[in-house]
Amino acid sequence: MKNHKLYLIVPLLAVLLAGCAGLPGGANDAGPQKITYTLKTDMSHGGMQYIGVGGNIAGQTNPTLIAKVGDTVTVNLTSSDGVEHNFAAPDLSVQSGPISNQTSPVSISFIVDKPGSFPYFCSIPGHREAGMEGKLVVSGQALPVTAQAAQPNAASATNMNVSAASSAPTAAPAATDLVDIVRDPTDLPGPLASHAPTTVRVDLETKEVNGQLADGTTYNYWTFNGQVPGPFIRISVGDTVEVHLKNNASSHMAHSVDFHAVTGPGGGAVFTSTAPGQETMFTFKALIPGLFVYHCATPMVAEHIANGMYGLILVEPQEGLPKVDREFYVMQGEIYTAGKFGDKGQQVEDVQKLLDEKPEYFVLNGAVGALTTQKPLKAKVGETIRIFYGVGGPNYISSFHIIGEMFDRVYDQASLTSAPLTDVQTTLVPPGGATVVELSLQVPGRYILVDHALSRLQRGLAGYLLVDGPAAPDIFDGTPMPGSGH
């Protein structure tokens, strides 16, 4: 009877082993196989991941993929979250094209030519850090050099997707579907009347739009509500804020929002990781008065900020702020393009420059000329003005200065409950920080808003304060001379 059992078991094992050949995760002693894996992209619980589809990886998060040296591996990538992703295994010279809600599924095939455990991940900046990484485990012996030459990697020719950061910075023609991305410095709500704590609804929509970066130069901005900076939000201490974040269905990326005015993990970002076409919501109580930055906090956070996703929220103290005649809203940012400053055409971001902190552009309210030729600040002699000034960054400190004026009062670091500094020439504002400055106007003319790291003037950072009114020769008098630069 034992021999009969053995005769039955051996053929059964042969059938089972034969059935494993070519299946994902299967192991056999046959020659090179064709193995196919299907992964879908997923975004949940504030993270990103690949989810296995079918076979013995079904439902697994970032599943381990199994192959042997010489096998041809095909990876099919589908989208379930609408966000732009890809599949990369750089140790094997593999990178797919992008997939998003606007593209068809992508497929990439390659021959594995060496054994080892190799990471695969999404190479879109920040997505690997957000959780999109698994392993491809390859058994066997490395192919001889002659075999490698005879069997070139199938991914090397047609499936490699060279990123903007490593390609030559040749720009496409300037975009024609332009949106006015420049936030008018007067576009902010006025002072709030005294009121009991209330609930305030804030609606933000993340939009990826083409805008004019400079004359003849366009750029794809990522924005809150279509402009840079995002809308100025004004509330009072004690108010409860109900934030609704909608990600426009045309977006390629997931987005979120982190309010520095929030007391709670992530500043709200953990509740607002939002895929294209989706909407999220959270509430927070404003406990501390001040002027605070908000920004997108989806990985890579610096990339989302550099592309324009920042704004200011003012939490007024109970007694409000002193009365002034005019208020303005200004924010400083950096833009990292593949082309050099001044290159024409449609520019693309350069992630390596971002990581190296080497911006091509420094801007106020999103673009070169935004607050000079397009939407300068305007006031009159005899008026008092207040400027809410923030730095989106993501990397550089600002030395905020107005040429020809002094600040009567500076709310240092945007602290509204501390006594303001008085009679200040230049004030430091860190990235992710803000200040409030007040000044009175006695002499007409054009005053230039600068970061007094003045090389940045040559990279686009300047704004104008145009003051109309009668001359004041008892304060300022003389004959203008050419060549002053002011």
Give pLDDT tens digits for 73-91.
999 999 887 788 999 999 9
Assessment of whether the complete model's pTM goes beyond 0.85: no
Indicate left, alpha or beta for 318 from its phi (over 0: left) and psi (-120 to 50: alpha): alpha
Residue 12 DSSP SS3: helix
Would you state the pLDDT for residue 163?
A: 36
Residue 19 DSSP SS3: helix
- DSSP structural state of residue 178: B
Pairing of strands 65-68, 133-139: parallel
* CB-CB neighbours of 481 under 10 Å: 6
- DSSP structural state of residue 179: -
Q: Chain-centre distance of CA 210, in angstroms?
A: 15
Contact yes or no for 418/385 (Cβ under 8 A)? no
Tell me how long the chain is.
486
Indicate left, alpha or beta for 448 from its phi (over 0: left) and psi (-120 to 50: alpha): beta
Give the Cα separation of 413 and 244 in Å (integer): 28
Strand partners, 399: 428
* CB-CB neighbours of 323 under 10 Å: 8
Q: Tell me the CATH architecture of domain 199-468.
A: Sandwich (2.60)
Give the Cα separation of 450 and 448 in Å (integer): 6
Q: Which helix (H) or strand (E) holds 435?
A: strand 433-440
In three state form, how does the secondary structure of 320-333 look?
CCCCCCEEEEEEEE
Q: Which helix (H) or strand (E) holds 314?
A: strand 310-316
**Identical fold, 2-158 and 199-468:** yes
* Annotated domain spans of the chain: 2-158, 199-468
Contact yes or no for 248/207 (Cβ under 8 A)? yes
Give the Cα separation of 252 and 207 in Å (integer): 10
Cα angle at 248 between 245 and 249, to 5 degrees?
130
Residues 6+ apart with CB under 8 A from 444: 381, 467, 468, 469, 470, 471, 472
Give the Cα separation of 301 and 2 in Å (integer): 66
Strand partners, 468: 380
Give the Cα separation of 26 and 74 in Å (integer): 15
Would you state the pLDDT for residue 99?
A: 87
Between the CA of residue 228 and those of 65, 118, 212, 274, 344, what are the distances in Å? 43, 41, 12, 20, 21
Pairing of strands 199-214, 217-224: antiparallel
For the stretch 358-396, pLDDT in tens is 999 999 999 999 999 999 999 999 999 999 999 999 999
Listed in sequence order, the DSSP H helices in 115-194 are 145-150, 155-158
Contact yes or no for 425/437 (Cβ under 8 A)? no
Residues of the chain with pLDDT under 70: 1-30, 45-46, 101-103, 145-170, 485
Backbone φ, ψ for residue 119 (5° rounding) = -70, 140
Domain range 2-158, its CATH number among 2.60.40.1180, 3.40.50.2000, 2.60.40.420, 3.90.190.20: 2.60.40.420
